[in-house]
Amino acid sequence: MNFYTNVAIVSDTVFYRGFSEGERVELREKFSPTLFVSTKKETKYKTLEGECVEPIKFSGIGEAKEFVKNYETVENFTIYGNTKYLYQYILSEYPKEVDYDFTKLNILSLDIETTSENGFPSVEEAIEEILCITVKDFSSKKITTWGCGEFENFRDDVNYIYCKNEQDLLLKFQQFWVGATPDIVTGWNVKHFDMPFICRRMDRVLNSKHMRSLSPWNFVYERDVYIKGQKKIYYDILGVATLDYYDLYQKFTYTNQESYRLDHIASVELGANKLDHSEFENFQDFYRNNWQKFIEYNIHDVELVDMLEDKMKLIELAVTMAYDAKVNFEDVFYQVRMWDSIIYDALSQENIIIPPKSDSTKDQQYAGAYVKEPVPGMYDWVVNFDLNSLYPHLIMQYNISPETLLDERVGGINVDRLLNREIDTSTLQGVTLCPNGTLYDTRKQGFLPKLMQKIYDERTIYKKKMLAAKQEYENTKNPELLKDISKYNNIQMARKIQLNSAYGAIGNEYFRYFRIENAEAITLSGQLSIRWIEKKMNEYLNRILKTGDKDYVIAIDTDSIYLNLGDLVQSVFKGRKAPDEKIVEFLDKICQVELEPFIESCYEELAKYVNAYEQKMNMKRENIANRGFWTVKKRYVLNVWDSEGVRYKQPKMKICGMETQRSSTPSYFRDKLYESYKIIINGTNDDLIAFIEKIKNHSKKQSYIDVASPRSCNNLEKYKSNSSIYKSATPIAVRGALLYNYYVKQHKITNRFPLIQEGEKIKFIYLKTPNPIGENVISFFQSIPPEFGLEKYIDYTLQFEKSFLEPLKSVLECIGWDYQRRGSLTSFFS
């Protein structure tokens, strides 16, 4: 088994780490890249347009770079091939699928703790000392901790190494690292804090030679990156991938959390927390007075990350994606880089040579997805249908690809005119028409739709394999099957992410194949598809229910339609009291026997009308709900009895866009709003009014931390004022943050309470006035410093109104319910 773990290029040399015949290897070697130029001779190598090109092989990377530089200003002289020589090297070594073994990778989770004598430790200044470092080997599950203090170790899986001082600690850690240099280092915030801090302290306390030894090639590069205006210092350790679990979680979980601190994420995902040390006045007090617990705290952090990976397999997913695209592990965070390499690999299999990057730029906005504004209110018996993987299938249907796009444009075309069949398409021969007026050649399948089909088919295959392995495991409980389940799930998830990210790359002006026409053809064709079925479904339902011109499509969002089938249920059951289960069974059958075949025929009609390459719209029923309500577009609640054929014994609420789904809603009020929605769906207005009164009183007994409003803190510098702390019209969370920072400095407690930085997740809470700071708000991280003397001024009533009552009133106005007993407005807030 041969596979790489990291490939890097410095000057003319390739630095390769990997496995050969199952054994670990590290190689330095020269690479002779190949580029291509046009030729009149017949060759096996072709451009996307079918023109012949011939290879030029260079003695080294430097010579290839010089060749490109010499000809970059020469007109009508195009150089083809991949000038990202790292990926050219990987493909030359692995022209076929990379056969890798994830279990052979050396993966370490790492966490450090430092002093905080001068406030929260800064990577840039790096003046605090490292007190301890803990690493956990993901394979052996063994933990090694280096610490500058006596620790009584009671665990067989922990090796504690006593260090005399920080210098001794760094030397011993370095010896360990060099002896077992990892392929991947992970941890929570490890890229943004732990590894840069280690590098800086090694450079300062030891020397740069020791710091560079963290790389198996002795190359470590520092670089500055600005994120939301805040400077970050990163260190690239050549040969070692840093896959920060914080970054992986944000990239691949597709959820919004009120905080991305490890303690919160561990609580959400694992039901676990960081080790509590609230009995200590501050962090200094913690490491000075209870070294035993301090080390246990450090060890627990790496265990939390290990537990997250055991559950979520995000590192395994990233590795699968990297080998699939033939890139380095860290490249998975960049969709343009990933897709450039995926396409490069696919075209190379057919001896098609990639072009240089497109000069096309995004100098104008183009149309996005279609979202229909619903009529707000409550609806009975809602059924929604989804188009499967819409954008990839549009690429397939219209044969959208850089080489199939024709120069000719058809004027006067838009979605509405196609929808109403105002355009004569009978003359289309060998081309298909998109709503932005672009034409695509249909005589030969483009490389992009071919690739979409391949990835989609592979995902289907591996998803079936995963489900089969899951079923077999349920039957046999054979632990060997767990590896198959994990493997197949990662492959199908990798394919899913590839498909979903394709459009993002296509619409990115830095993509090699970017053309704004292709991006717009996809989005407008999506609009046409979903609005086409809206029109057809309304015609169909009005015809069978004899209702004239009623709009049965409540809402549309990109690839989904939501049908109001309450009239259909009424016409069939004619006022008879039928159990919900029986109506669900009826609607399920209607969808299968009548509606889905009708939808298929409608899309066949559309494909024929635009002369599509092939009909690829696949719309299936998703949810059947007995009740639901909308407030505005993308904001609704459905009480779902059946989801994609899975029938529930008790209905489950599907919530979209509401405050319960928003990380900016306080956790306490999120739960109470969820309960409110259940009452709206299943109860009465009186039930809800009683519940509101209960929560108004109950919320006053909660910790202010649970009812405070989470926010991201942006534009601190923009709103900062040297004369008055903050400027006028400062957003409330930012105002609270500037006040917090000001008073933390005033009280000289930065060693215990770090300042709020740009882009950080914080909470704010309303205050009664007058109070010691003379303001009606304060922001904070985990708690308000007691020195501020503000806890007794928390305005629980205003917090209740803003976070709970106002969002709920926006729903009640839409459905015609009251939030209080009539005539009691004055008493409600008394």
Does 371-447+505-643 carry CATH code 3.30.1280.10? Answer: no
Residue 728 — pLDDT band, cuts 50, 70, 90?
A: very high
* 3-state SS, residue 647: strand
The pLDDT score that the predictor gives to residue 800 is 98
Q: What is the helix (H) or strand (E) element at residue 383, kind and residue range?
A: strand 377-387
Judged against a pLDDT cut of 80, whether residue 362 lies above it is answered with no
Can you tell me the distance from the alpha carbon of 733 to that of 186, in angstroms, rounded to the nearest whole number? 32
Task: Give the Å distances, CA to CA, from 546 to 180, 381, 534, 571.
Answer: 75, 19, 17, 11
**Mean pLDDT across the stretch 156-162?**
98
Give, for 741, the enclosing helix (H) or strand (E). Answer: helix 732-746
Class of domain 664-830: alpha beta
User: Nearest CA to 523 among 340, 370, 638, 382?
Assistant: 370
Residue 828 has pLDDT above 80, yes or no: no
pLDDT of residue 143: 98
The dihedral built from the CA positions of residue 247, 249, 251 and 257, taken in this order, carries a sign that is negative
636 three-state secondary structure = strand
Mean pLDDT for 628-650 is 94
Handedness of CA 257, 240, 193, 176 (dihedral sign): positive
Does residue 160 surpass a pLDDT of 80?
yes
Q: Residue 575 above 80 pLDDT? A: no
Residue 18 and residue 2 in contact, taking contact as beta carbons nearer than 8 Å? yes
- DSSP H helical ranges for 593-711: 596-609, 667-682, 685-699, 704-707
Q: Which residue has the tokens 């291509």?
A: 36
Instruction: Report how far residue 146's alpha carbon sits from residue 130's, in angstroms, rounded to the nearest whole number.
Output: 10
Give the model's confidence band at 823: pLDDT under 50 very low, under 70 low, under 90 confident, else very high.
Answer: low
- pLDDT for the residue numbered 631: 96
Cα(242)–Cα(51) distance, integer angstroms: 42
Q: Which of 43, 48, 78 is nearest to 344 (CA)?
A: 48
Mean pLDDT of 452-472: 91
pLDDT level of residue 576 (50, 70, 90 thresholds): confident
Give the integer Cα–Cα distance in Å for 598 and 500.
Answer: 27
At position 182, the amino acid (one-letter code) is: P
Measured between alpha carbons, how far is 374 from 380 in angstroms, rounded to an integer?
Answer: 15
User: Under CATH, to which class is 3-94 assigned?
Assistant: alpha beta
pLDDT at 303 over 90: yes
Say whether pLDDT at 77 is over 80: yes
* Structure confidence at residue 829 (pLDDT): 53
CB 314 within 8 A of CB 248: yes
Tell me the average pLDDT of the chain: 94
Give how far Cα 397 sits from Cα of 446, 618, 672, 714, Å: 11, 11, 45, 42
**Mean pLDDT, range 351-362, rounded to an integer:** 85
Nearest Cα residue to 305 out of 232, 242, 249, 233:
249
Q: Output phi, psi for 182, to 5 deg.
A: -70, 160
Least confident of 5-9, 56-60, 819-823: 819-823
Q: pLDDT-derived band of residue 422, with 50, 70 and 90 as boundaries?
A: very high
Percent share of the chain, pLDDT over 90: 84
Listed by start position, the domains of the chain span 3-94, 102-312, 371-447+505-643, 664-830
The angle that helices 685-699 and 667-682 make with each other, rounded to 10 degrees, is 170
Q: How confident is the model at residue 54 (pLDDT cuts 50, 70, 90)?
A: very high
Question: How many CA atoms within 13 Å lie on the side-chain side of 640?
Answer: 20
pLDDT range class, residue 146, cuts 50, 70, 90? very high
pLDDT at residue 822 greater than cutoff 80: no
d(CA 158, CA 143): 5
Comparing 368 with 81, which gets the higher pLDDT?
A: 81
- What integer pLDDT is reported at residue 364 of this predicted model? 73
What separation in angstroms does the CA of 431 have from each of 441, 592, 610, 614?
5, 34, 9, 12
**Residues 6 or more apart from 91 whose CB is under 8 A from it?**
82, 326, 344, 345, 348
pLDDT at 358 over 80: no
Which is higher by pLDDT, 733 or 759? Answer: 733
Distances in Å between the Cα of 699 and the Cα atoms of 268, 618, 704 are 22, 47, 9
The arithmetic mean of pLDDT across residues 328-332, rounded, is 97
Q: Do the beta carbons of residue 302 and residue 142 sit within 8 Å?
A: no
Q: Which CATH superfamily is domain 102-312 in?
A: Ribonuclease H-like superfamily/Ribonuclease H (3.30.420.10)
**For residue 375, which amino acid is it?**
V
| Banded pLDDT at 602 (limits 50, 70, 90) | very high
The closest alpha carbon to 808, from 696, 647, 706, belongs to 696
pLDDT band at 357 (very low <50, low <70, confident <90, very high): confident
pLDDT recorded at residue 365:
78
Residue 218 has pLDDT above 90, yes or no: yes
Q: What's residue 824's pLDDT?
A: 55
What pLDDT was estimated at residue 827?
52
Q: What is the pLDDT of residue 414?
A: 96
Q: What share of the chain is helix, strand, coil (3-state, %, to 5)?
A: 45, 20, 35
Interval 627-651 mean pLDDT: 94
CB atoms within 10 A of CB 755: 16
Spatial CB neighbours of 72, under 8 Å, sequence gap ≥ 6: none
* φ, ψ dihedrals at 628, nearest 5°: -170, 165
Answer whether residue 442 shows pLDDT above 70: yes
Please determine whether the domains at 102-312 and 664-830 fall in the same fold group of CATH: no
pLDDT of residue 486: 81
Min mean pLDDT across 135-144, 722-731, 747-756 is at 747-756
| Both structure tokens of 360 | 């096309």
pLDDT in tens, 221-250: 999 998 767 788 999 999 999 999 999 999
* Residue 377, CA distances (Å) to 571, 636, 740 in order: 21, 10, 42
- Return the pLDDT at 758: 82
Backbone conformation region of residue 789, classed left if phi is above 0, alpha if psi is from -120 to 50, else beta: left
pTM comes to 0.89
What is the 8-class DSSP label of residue 423?
S
Closest CA to 757 of 120, 208, 221: 120
Sign of the torsion angle spanned by Cα atoms 302, 305, 309, 315: negative
pLDDT given at position 64: 97
**Inter-CA distances, 760 with 180, 244, 629, 712, 713, Å:** 35, 17, 34, 6, 5
